[in-house]
Amino acid sequence: MRVSGGFNNAGISSLYNTLFQGKMSMHTNKLSRDLLPINNAKGSGSLSMNSLQYISDIKSASSSLASALKDLSGPAFNQQTMVSSNTDAMTVNFNGKNLGSMSDISVQIDQVAMGQLNEGSRMSATGLYGGDRGVNRFEITSGGKTTQLSVSVAAGDSNRDVQQKMANAINNAGIGLRATVETDSATNISMLRVESTNVGTDERNAFSIRDFTGNAVARTGINQVSRERQDAIYRVNGGEAQVSRSNNINLGNGVTATLKASSDQAVTVSRGRDMSQVRGVIENMVRSYNNLFSAAAGNTNDFKAQSLASRLMNVMSAYSRSLSDMGIGFNSDGRLTIDSNRLNQAFENGRVEQFFTENNGRNFGFTANLGRLADNVSNNTSNFVSSAMSQNFAYSGFGNPIQQNFFGSGSILDYMF
């Protein structure tokens, strides 16, 4: 999702002005004559393909938005799962159907499974490379298979240039190794690192690097093993040490875990709320709102579509501060955006649940207000498209009364803002 700094009052005013000016222009230019179906087939009351697409778009988006808001008013926060007390050390996933009487699980992580790591010599990043020029070929043997790679060293290449060329060759080979060049800008030192993407002590995960022609390997020192491959070692509920060649372990009863890092204290797996599902519902709400708003705001030839866009913005601006505190803002086009870091913080301090559920079951609050509008669009879609009217609802002048059938219930101001 895009990152936003939150709601911008100036942006809101600009969007309001744009929509208002669009309405008034249509009001004087189009409502002063008969309002005909968009295909201009006078008296037919039929709709153009554009109108039909618009109706389909707002019907689908509003239905999805209404569903997401209903979930956020409470149900999404009631889903329970098994959660980790330290996600930096271990994440968990519950694949079972029922938590039943499951109790807490304690996992002590002594070490995680890792792959072999080679770290080359520390070299002056911008210093002139002192190895062989021209084409240098080197071989990597991994899993019983030898692959020959090559790099072309030009006069004037720096140490970092050659290190990066070797890293690119290794990464492009697709042989289960990941190569990077680390540079310390403060000391101007760079180093080539090559690590196996496979973990554990399986012999197939070992690799070696050697020169074939030229001396690129020897010069960069990338044939040096700095960390041997290792298995994961952990203990469950204070029991005996268990060894795994993978960091993915099974804790039983539908609970699986991924070991991330060793920890001084045991990680506790206990019952908790499934915030990942809530996050998914929030993302669906944002996506559905954007689809609905874009369809309405983009339908510039339809007075009611522009009115719908204004009403949507009305709701969002009323809760702008609270939404912004959770990292939900909008860009200059009126589309919602999510700042993931701020949303994470809002989950941790409870603001997300409080905001979406504090008025659950009442007739006010964000989910209730936006939900009513979404339900109205979903259930009465034709009320939000002017071209659905026949020419019988003609308007013969700016100063004459406006048919209630055209605007629905409420005054014209309700649709302008």
- What CATH number is associated with residue 202? 2.60.40
SS3 helix, strand, coil % of the chain, rounded to 5?
40, 25, 35
Please identify, among 202, 227, 252, the residue that sits at the C-terminal boundary of a domain. 227
Is pLDDT at 223 greater than 50 in this prediction? yes
Asked if 268 and 257 touch (Cβ cutoff 8 Å), the reply is no
Pair 170, 149: CB distance under 8 Å: yes
Number of domains in the chain: 3
Tokens representing 417? 């803002």
Q: What is the pLDDT of residue 266?
A: 96
Q: Do 163 and 22 share a structural domain? A: no
Judgement on whether residues 178 and 50 belong to the same structural domain of the protein: no
Cβ proximity of 133 and 155 under 8 Å: yes
Contacts of 130 (CB under 8 A, 6+ apart): 219
Where helices occur in 193-339 by DSSP H, the ranges are 216-220, 275-298, 303-318, 320-325
- Least trusted range by pLDDT, from 114-123, 183-192, 267-276: 267-276
pLDDT of residue 348: 81
Which carries the bigger pLDDT value, residue 141 or residue 406? Answer: 141
Asked if residue 401 and residue 334 are part of one domain, the reply reads yes
The pLDDT of 211-230, averaged and rounded, is 97
| DSSP calls for 89-141 | TEEEEE--S--TT---EEEEEEE--B--EEE---EETTSBP-S--EEEEEEEE
Does the residue 1 lie in any domain?
A: no
Q: What whole-number percentage of the chain has pLDDT above 70?
A: 79
Assess if residue 128 is contained within a domain. Answer: yes
Average pLDDT, the chain: 82
Establish if 41 belongs to a structural domain. yes
Q: Inform me whether the pLDDT recorded for 181 exceeds 80.
A: yes
| Contact residues for 400 (Cβ-Cβ < 8 A; gap 6+) | none
Return all residues near 50 (Cβ < 8 A) that are at least 6 apart: 38
Instruction: Please give the pLDDT value at position 273.
Output: 74
Which pLDDT belongs to residue 44? 42
Q: How confident is the model at residue 400 (pLDDT cuts 50, 70, 90)?
A: very low
Q: What is the predicted pLDDT for the residue at 240?
A: 96
Three-state DSSP class for residue 416 = helix
In-domain check, residue 61: yes
Residue written as tokens 């979903």?
378
Average pLDDT over residues 337-355: 89
Give the residues across from 234 on adjacent strands.
109, 242
Interaxial angle between packed helices 49-72 and 366-379, expressed in degrees from 0 to 180 and rounded to the nearest 10: 150
Local confidence band at 83 (pLDDT 50, 70, 90 cut-offs): confident
Structural domain contains residue 4: no
- Is 50 exceeded by the pLDDT of residue 413? no
Mean predicted confidence (pLDDT) in 168-178: 97
Give the separation between CA 159 and CA 157, rounded to whole angstroms.
7
Structure tokens at 120: 């080359």
Q: Quote the CA–CA distance of 140 and 174 in Å, as a whole number.
A: 12
Note the pLDDT tens digit of each residue in 52-82: 889 999 999 999 999 999 988 878 777 778 8
Dist CA 120 CA 224 (whole Å): 6
Confidence of residue 408 (pLDDT cuts 50, 70, 90): very low
Which whole-number Å values give the CA distances from 213 to 20, 114, 159, 171, 296, in the listed order? 73, 31, 18, 20, 65
pLDDT tens, residue by residue, 366-397: 888 999 999 999 999 989 988 544 333 333 23
Answer yes or no: do 41 and 109 share one domain.
Answer: no
Mean predicted confidence (pLDDT) in 330-338: 90
What is the tens place of the pLDDT at every residue in 9-52?
A: 555 555 555 554 544 444 433 433 333 333 443 434 455 667 78
Given a cut of 80, whether residue 217 has pLDDT beyond it is yes
Q: Are residues 141 and 237 in the same domain?
A: no
Least confident of 2-11, 32-41, 157-166: 32-41
CB distance 120 to 222 below 8 Å? yes
- Provide the residue range defining the domain that includes 378: 9-77+276-416
Give a yes or no: residue 3 inside a domain: no
Q: Are 254 and 295 part of one and the same domain?
A: no
Residue 177 lies in a domain: yes
Please tell me whether residues 235 and 217 are part of one structural domain. Answer: no
Lowest mean pLDDT across 4-18, 97-111, 151-165: 4-18
Confidence check: pLDDT of 404 > 60: no
Q: Pick the more confident residue, 141 or 12.
A: 141
Same domain, 108 and 244: yes
Please indicate, yes or no, whether residues 368 and 299 belong to a single structural domain of this protein: yes
- For residues 182 and 239, membership in a common domain is answered with no
pLDDT of residue 278: 87
The answer to whether residue 318 sits within a structural domain is yes
Q: What per-residue confidence (pLDDT) applies to 17? A: 57
Q: Which of 258-267, 287-296, 385-394 has the lowest mean pLDDT?
A: 385-394
Instruction: Let me know whether 303 and 371 are in one domain.
Output: yes
Going by C-beta distance under 8 Å and a sequence separation of 6 or more, which residues neighbour residue 56? none
Regarding whether 287 and 268 lie in a shared domain, the answer is: no
